[in-house]
Amino acid sequence: MLGPELTPTAPLIVGIGGSTRAGSTSERLLTVCLAETEHLGARTLAFTGGTLRLPIYEADGRTAAGPAVALVEAIREADGLIIASPGYHGGISGLVKNALDYVEDLRDDARPYLDGRAVGCIASAAGWQATGSTLAALRAVVHALRGWPTPLGVAVNSELPVWDGEGRLVDAGVRAQLRIVAGQVLGFARRWGYDPACSND
């Protein structure tokens, strides 16, 4: 999204997450967090639900094709990311993990993988145990991809009354946490944005 008050040079924050179920908790949390980054002056681009129905990633040297190309190119251009996953059996959903596996296609870039980018992590699940383990798994994957997980990660128990009957976020605590994550991702992007002169090439 590019609001009228934003410029093409504003930091680009890419969101990845949700599930195949339209309007899932993780997708809605991602949407709220991205909206907070927009409010702070960022451009945003989201890959959720159907746009994450990608072929299983195969690390055999084949180049991403079709919808995966758009995802890889967006991550390549991103100044920061926000990732939201539902907790499936205590871990990241296959949908989200497969999307993150495509970051391997950036291994030979001047800025490889998620190098030099802050990544906000959000986990939602029906119970606290799975929210914690999923959030920890997300942060571990971001570390492995050379990204910088934000100091705050958000874990949301979807069994609690987080939304009203119209799907609006009514939990003030969760909203405040999402706002903090948005600020940390964008603040990092503005202060430590990629400088080609500092690359290894």
pTM of the entire predicted model: 0.90
Check: CB of residue 33 under 8 Å from CB of residue 150: no
- Comparison of pLDDT for 88 and 7, the residue scoring more: 88
On whether residue 59 sits in a domain, the answer given is yes
Taking the C-alpha atoms of residue 84 and residue 155, their distance in angstroms, rounded to an integer, is 10
Number of domains in the chain: 1
On whether residue 138 sits in a domain, the answer given is yes
* pLDDT band at residue 64 under the 50/70/90 scheme: low
- Among left, alpha and beta (phi > 0; psi -120 to 50; other), residue 41 is left
On whether residue 5 sits in a domain, the answer given is no
Whichever domain contains 77, its CATH number is 3.40.50.360
Task: Report the greatest alpha carbon distance in the chain.
Answer: 53
Note the pLDDT tens digit of each residue in 8-22.
689 999 999 988 888
On whether residue 4 sits in a domain, the answer given is no
Taking the C-alpha atoms of residue 37 and residue 138, their distance in angstroms, rounded to an integer, is 20
Note the pLDDT tens digit of each residue in 68-115.
999 999 999 999 999 999 999 999 999 999 999 999 999 999 999 999
Taking the C-alpha atoms of residue 136 and residue 141, their distance in angstroms, rounded to an integer, is 9
| Positive or negative torsion for Cα 119, 123, 128, 129 | negative
